[in-house]
């Protein structure tokens, strides 16, 4: 590549392709006119070398293990910020002033209740339905209750829908948990902050006062901050693609939830804890490490590896520290699953296979241990991930909708099927 162009030799012709630089990170080769000029597509299943959009929201340096939200390092935001402050930053690009933060908190707080009719919606599910199945259904149904904020061409309606989604996700998640438990739904309380309100809606019961433990609420806030946004991951790309057709934001977020559920993505936190429980004892770790390395065995270490991080996921470090903090606050002296996780990390990080493939713990490796200690069943882990990631999905959707060059996403393909052929009547087959 020279300066601002790259040269492509194809079928005896040389084509100049524009090279663009971002503010930080890798350059991109603009191939928007490639098919028009050469008649050829690029081919990159899994998008390992493909930038799908221009974005100013989040930046990851996978080799250095750095994660920035609007330029601010995740460890600083997790230590000093609260979740709604990070929401404001992701949505509007700057940290809020005190007045802006107070106004944003007030607006979100006054959207936390859901339409009373929605509580009837839950009764259509079996009590033992996976909470992520409930989330896909109920969040998708929001567009049936909030018609006045589905016109994406209206900036005011886009803003209201965004506030509603950020504010109502914890309420719907708590309702999914209560429905699963067979306990009555708890209404949000306007005098509690985002995480404390969520813990109250999940763990309070009408029969007695429930005091939220401030240490656990702070840990919950931090967990939400760690999961808020992460560039063009699978579920965010799903939301962008759904939104590119003009679908309403409730439907787009429901699509993101469905994608996040996969065990290779947000479902890994549930799968990681299930894996640690299956391993059962530190003595069994070597057997599982060998299985993870065996090409003929589909088993993978859940919570390990990442498409972008080829170094330690900075969120995993903070999550590990939070696990110790929560277990300490709850007086859980030794959690066998944490012992297994710590020992597994130690073994894996010295193993040639993991070193060569640059496989490190990711955000999902320690989160399950913390969430289990907070009292959540494993089936709720990805629900909590979705509650946090909703602001990232919304911020990325907003950035796409406000992009004057935005168009519907429509990838092409490398066709390897049959060339044209004529129909054969069944009697002649
Ligand atoms: C999240 O994209 C994001 O940003 C996602 C996320 C976010 O915040 O949105 O960070 C959240 O989804 C974190 C990832 C959670 N998933 C898991 O923990 C599941 C276990 N991890 C793997 O399935 C895998 O690491 C992925 C899916 C996360 C990444 O897969 P890639 O980038 O497609 O890499 P790959 O599967 O091609 O693996 C490269 C090599 C392969 O070996 P070879 O074919 O080269 O011989 O590493 C091996 C893989 O077999 N490998 C693993 C492994 N992960 C990859 N081997 C054992 N255990 C693992 N966990």
The finding on whether 135 has its CB within 6 A of some atom of ligand 1 is: no
Check the CA dihedral 80-83-87-88 and report its sign.
negative
Please give the DSSP secondary-structure letter assigned to residue 60.
E
CA distance linking residue 303 with residue 276, whole number of Å: 10
Pocket test for ligand 1, best of 90, 306, 308 (most atoms within 8 A of CB): 306
Query: Is 63 considered catalytic here?
Result: no
The model carries a pTM of 0.95
pLDDT of 135 higher than 80: yes
The finding on whether 363 has its CB within 6 A of some atom of ligand 1 is: yes
pLDDT of 15 higher than 80: yes
Q: Which atom of ligand 1 is nearest to the CA of 266?
A: 12
CA distance linking residue 153 with residue 429, whole number of Å: 53
Q: How many residues does the chain have?
A: 429
What lies within 8 Å, CB to CB, of 352 at 6+ separation is none
Query: Is 281 considered catalytic here?
Result: no
pLDDT of 2 higher than 60: no
The finding on whether 229 has its CB within 6 A of some atom of ligand 1 is: no
Please give the DSSP secondary-structure letter assigned to residue 97.
P
What lies within 8 Å, CB to CB, of 324 at 6+ separation is 338
Pocket test for ligand 1, best of 59, 261, 305 (most atoms within 8 A of CB): 305
Give residue-wise pLDDT tens across range 342-371.
Answer: 999 999 889 999 999 999 999 999 999 999
pLDDT of 1 higher than 80: no
Residue 153 pLDDT: 92
Q: Output the DSSP codes for 51-72.
A: -----SSEEEETTTTEEEETTE
From the list 130, 227, 265, 306, the catalytic residue is: 306
Nearest to 51 by CA among 35, 33, 29, 71: 29
pLDDT of 211 higher than 90: yes
The finding on whether 301 has its CB within 6 A of some atom of ligand 1 is: yes
Give residue-wise pLDDT tens across range 268-282.
Answer: 999 999 999 999 999
Q: Output the DSSP codes for 192-208.
A: S-HHHHHHHHHH--TTS
> Distance from the CA of 68 to the center of ligand 1, in angstroms?
21
What are the chain's domains? 5-51 (2.20.28.60), 71-405 (1.10.580.10)
The finding on whether 315 has its CB within 6 A of some atom of ligand 1 is: no
The finding on whether 292 has its CB within 6 A of some atom of ligand 1 is: yes
CA distance linking residue 339 with residue 355, whole number of Å: 22
């Amino acid at each position: 590549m020279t300066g601002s162009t790259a040269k492509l030799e194809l079928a005896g012709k040389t084509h100049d392709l524009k090279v663009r630089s971002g503010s930080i990170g890798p350059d991109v080769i603009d191939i928007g006119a490639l098919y028009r000029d050469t008649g050829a597509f690029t081919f990159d299943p899994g998008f390992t070398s493909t930038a799908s959009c221009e974005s100013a929201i989040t930046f990851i340096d996978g080799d250095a293990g750095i994660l920035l939200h609007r330029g601010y390092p995740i460890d600083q935001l997790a230590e000093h910020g609260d979740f709604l402050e990070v929401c404001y930053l992701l949505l509007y690009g700057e940290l809020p002033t005190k007045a802006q933060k107070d106004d944003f908190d007030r607006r979100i707080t006054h959207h936390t209740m859901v339409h009373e009719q929605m509580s009837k919606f839950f009764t259509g599910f079996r009590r033992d339905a996976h909470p992520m199945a409930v989330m896909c259904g109920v969040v998708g149904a929001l567009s049936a209750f909030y018609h006045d904020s589905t016109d994406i061409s209206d900036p005011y309606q886009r803003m209201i829908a965004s506030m509603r989604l950020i504010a109502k996700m914890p309420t719907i998640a708590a309702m999914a948990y209560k429905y699963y438990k067979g306990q009555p739904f708890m209404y949000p309380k306007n005098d509690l902050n985002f995480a404390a309100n969520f813990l109250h809606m999940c763990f309070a019961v009408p029969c007695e006062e429930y005091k939220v433990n401030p240490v656990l609420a702070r840990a919950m806030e931090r967990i939400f901050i760690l999961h808020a946004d992460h560039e063009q991951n699978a579920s965010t790309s799903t939301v962008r693609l759904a939104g590119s057709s003009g679908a309403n934001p409730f439907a787009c977020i429901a699509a993101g939830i469905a994608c996040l559920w996969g065990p290779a993505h947000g479902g890994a936190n549930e799968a990681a804890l299930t894996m640690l429980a299956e391993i059962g004892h530190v003595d069994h770790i070597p057997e599982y490490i060998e299985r993870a390395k065996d090409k003929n065995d589909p088993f993978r270490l859940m919570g390990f590896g990442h498409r972008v991080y080829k170094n330690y996921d900075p969120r995993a470090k903070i999550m590990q520290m939070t696990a110790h903090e929560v277990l300490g606050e709850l007086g859980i002296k030794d959690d066998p699953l944490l012992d297994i996780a710590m020992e597994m990390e130690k073994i894996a990080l010295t193993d040639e296979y993991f070193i060569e493939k640059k496989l490190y713990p990711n955000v999902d490796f320690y989160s399950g241990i913390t969430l289990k200690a907070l009292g959540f069943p494993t089936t709720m882990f990805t629900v909590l991930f979705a509650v946090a990631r909703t602001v990232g999905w919304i911020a990325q959707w907003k950035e796409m909708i406000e992009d004057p060059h935005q168009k519907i996403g429509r990838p092409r393909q490398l066709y390897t099927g049959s060339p044209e052929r004529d129909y054969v009547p069944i009697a002649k087959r």
